Amino acid sequence: MTAPNPHLGSDFDDFLAVEGLLAATESLAIKRVIAWQIAEAMKTKHMTKAELARQMGTSRAAVDRLLDPNNESVTLLTLDRAAHAVGRNLIVQLG
């Protein structure tokens, strides 16, 4: 007879927490949403990656990393600079 599944009846967040993956998963999801919002603001303003890089004072490669939904290494400072470059504000708060 097999042992009962310890995750039966729990939600996905509970599973991720038990596996030690919840914080990393939430962080990546937040970064993906912000990158998507910046890309959408760029489309609205008809702004190229090169123009965003120029306004941020960075390279086109850095903008590519910023907009890459799987790149977790982007800092809050970079996200804030990108948000300001597209006329938006980055708001970070504890829930």
- Residues 72-84: tens digit of each pLDDT: 889 999 999 999 9
Most trustworthy range by pLDDT among 1-5, 6-10, 19-23, 48-52: 48-52
- Whether the pTM exceeds 0.85: the reply is no
Question: Residue 24 falls within a domain, yes or no?
Answer: no
Q: Is residue 73 part of a domain?
A: yes
- Which one, of 87, 69, 85, 86, lies nearest residue 33 by Cα? 69
**Domain hosting residue 43, numbered range:** 33-95
Taking residues 16-35, report their average pLDDT.
Answer: 85
Q: What is the pLDDT of residue 1?
A: 65
14 found inside a domain: no
The tokens describing 51, both together, are 């123009």
Q: Which two tokens stand for residue 50?
A: 């090169």
Position 16 in a domain: no
Identify the CATH number of the domain in which residue 74 sits. 1.10.260.40
Query: In angstroms, what CA-CA distances link 61 with 30, 51, 52, 53?
Result: 21, 12, 11, 9
In the prediction, which pLDDT does 68 show? 95
Is the residue at 56 inside a domain?
yes
Whether 25 is in a domain gets the answer no
User: How many domains is the chain built from?
Assistant: 1
Residue 81, domain member (yes or no): yes
Find all residues with CB under 8 Å of 85, minimum gap 6, and list them. 52, 55, 56
pLDDT at 16 over 90: no
Question: For residue 58, is it within any domain?
Answer: yes
Mean pLDDT across the chain = 89
Confirm if 36 and 66 have CB atoms less than 8 A apart.
no
